[in-house]
Amino acid sequence: MSTTVLSVLTTLDGARSNSASVDTSIDHGRAQHIPHGAAMSSHPSISRWAVPFAAFCTMFVAVGFPNSSGVFQEYYEFELFPDRPSSEIILIGSLSSSLYMVLGALTGRVADTMGYQVALFTGSVLIVGGLFAASAGTQFYQLLLSQGLAFGLGTAFVYYPAISVSGQFFQRHGLANGFVDSGDLACPVHFVFLAYTSTGLLGFSCVSFLRIGKRHAPASRGTRNIVDLRLLRDTRFLVILVFGTVAMTGFLPRYFLIPASAVSKGIDTAYAAWLVGLMNGLSIAGRLAVGWLADRFGKMTALITSFLPAVLAKTDPKTPTALMTLFVVHVGLLEFGFVSLVPVVVSDNFGAENLASKVGLLNSIMGLGVLAGPSAVHAIVSNGRDFNIAVLFSGLMMTVGWLILIRTLKYL
């Protein structure tokens, strides 16, 4: 990144502090809103795009790497640790994929009270250190601590500044956040082919680059508790929390199921890895489309619509390869959009100030579903049942989450 852009972003840090003059408090269950894009008029276009691009790169490494866990799972299970049950090996990917959600109430609060710079620096050190340690690890516990625990903790610190920043610069918050959130999908498109040869170098360069995208959060008003639990008294927040937790239980297992399921059906290992990349590549278009839909027709309309295709339509393909490819295309295009909408819906309902804390609190409980989902489907598979049962379980949980949202929509 050039010195010019770095100086622009430094200027934005100061400008953001001056622009945060409106308090967003929970007053009788309603939020006082800071308008989206309130800071955009005072910043040049290139400056407004620089920070969301840095946030995109944060998602590329911090969340995108765990999204490639299916490839690692297949390698660990069949090559590196053939004597260990898959239910143990899955813990590596589950930790790196779920800690940023489970710890969100704490790390989101850190970002809002201590500043985005502190959160990004702490997370960057943990992510880079975890990647380098994992590259030298040969024992299960070494990978669990490095690729699982250290990387997961690092992601917990950098994630919330990344997903909270786009609304400060763009009126079309849904589309902007869809762009930022698609970074975690762009990463697996490349990582599934380059995982073991470039993760250390790419992780170091990307996460170090993201330090220029640091943001100073506005001084937090009101409560100074370590974790702010006031939103748990708001019915609207509880509705989002319940349906989100159920849906996320079925969302993440697909990353782990697709490669192993494809190999078990006789599909070539390289093609199975390519399927993960295909799914994530198509998901970028899906998230951008849902973001556009949210800006055009409303946040809740887009959220409900993104759940509609949660269950795969019945098909009768002639080969396992055709089945898996069709399934991956369906999931990639139609079932990933709701993830990028959660921060947008929270901001729309509860205000944009201290957004990292609000989304972090929500994700802390939704993260229980993220952690439980992969273990549940692998327990199904380890009992000798077909992979199709595990896939159906995943789709069923997303469908139940959507039904809960529909039945409780009147409270939102």
Give per-residue pLDDT as tens, 25-58.
Answer: 444 444 444 445 544 544 555 566 777 777 887 8
Gap between the Cα atoms of 289 and 174, Å rounded? 9
Determine the pLDDT at residue 22. 38
Determine the pLDDT at residue 190. 53
Per-residue b or e along 36-73, where b marks 16 or more CB atoms closer than 10 Å to that residue's CB = bbbbbeebeeebbebbbbbbbbbbbbbbbbbbbbbbbb
Distances (CA, A) of 143 to 76, 86, 138, 164, 257: 10, 14, 7, 30, 20
3-class secondary structure for the chain? CCHHHHHHHHHHHHHHHHHCCCCCCEECCEECCCCCCCCHHHCCHHHHHHHHHHHHHHHHHHCCCHHHHHHHHHHHHHHHCCCCCHHHHHHHHHHHHHHHHHCHHHHHHHHHHHCHHHHHHHHHHHHHHHHHHHHHCCCHHHHHHHHHHHHHHHHHHHHHHHHHCHHHCCCCHHHHHHHHHCHHHHHHHHHHHHHHHHHHHHHHHHHHHHHHHCCCCCCCCCCCCCCCCHHHHCHHHHHHHHHHHHHHHHHCHHHHHHHHHHHHCCCCHHHHHHHHHHHHHHHHHHHHHHHHHHHHHCHHHHHHHHHCCCCCCCCCCCCHHHHHHHHHHHHHHHCCHHHHHHHHHHHHHHCCCCHHHHHHHHHHHHHHHHHHHHHHHHHHHHCCCCHHHHHHHHHHHHHHHHHHHHHCHHHC
Per-residue pLDDT of the chain (412 residues; tens, 9 = 90+): 433 333 333 344 444 444 443 334 444 444 444 445 544 544 555 566 777 777 887 888 888 777 666 667 777 887 788 888 877 888 888 788 778 888 999 999 998 888 888 888 898 889 889 888 888 888 888 989 998 999 999 999 989 988 887 766 667 777 777 777 776 666 555 555 554 444 444 444 444 444 444 444 444 444 556 677 888 888 899 999 998 888 888 877 766 677 777 777 778 777 877 787 787 778 778 788 888 888 888 888 888 877 765 544 444 344 677 777 877 777 777 666 777 788 888 888 888 888 888 999 998 888 788 778 877 877 777 766 667 777 788 878 888 888 888 888 887 7
Residue with tokens 């902007």: 176
Gap between the Cα atoms of 179 and 172, Å rounded? 11
Of the candidates 254, 235, 217, the residue with the CA atom closest to the CA atom of residue 24:
217
Of the candidates 174, 393, 208, the residue with the CA atom closest to the CA atom of residue 294:
174
Give per-residue pLDDT as tens, 55-102.
Answer: 887 888 888 777 666 667 777 887 788 888 877 888 888 788 778 888
Gap between the Cα atoms of 68 and 280, Å rounded? 9
Gap between the Cα atoms of 350 and 405, Å rounded? 18
Determine the pLDDT at residue 347. 85
Q: 217 is written with which tokens? A: 């959060």
What domains sit in the chain, N to C, each tagged with a CATH number?
3-12+36-217+227-411 (1.20.1250.20)
Of the candidates 357, 345, 347, 361, the residue with the CA atom closest to the CA atom of residue 409:
345
**27 — phi, psi (to 5°)?**
-115, 105
- pTM of the entire predicted model: 0.71
Name the residue type at position 382: S
- Quick check: 292 and 387 in contact, CB under 8 A? no
* Integer-rounded Cα radius of gyration of the chain: 20
Of the candidates 74, 27, 77, 87, the residue with the CA atom closest to the CA atom of residue 261:
74
Of the candidates 238, 222, 184, the residue with the CA atom closest to the CA atom of residue 362:
238
Determine the pLDDT at residue 124. 86
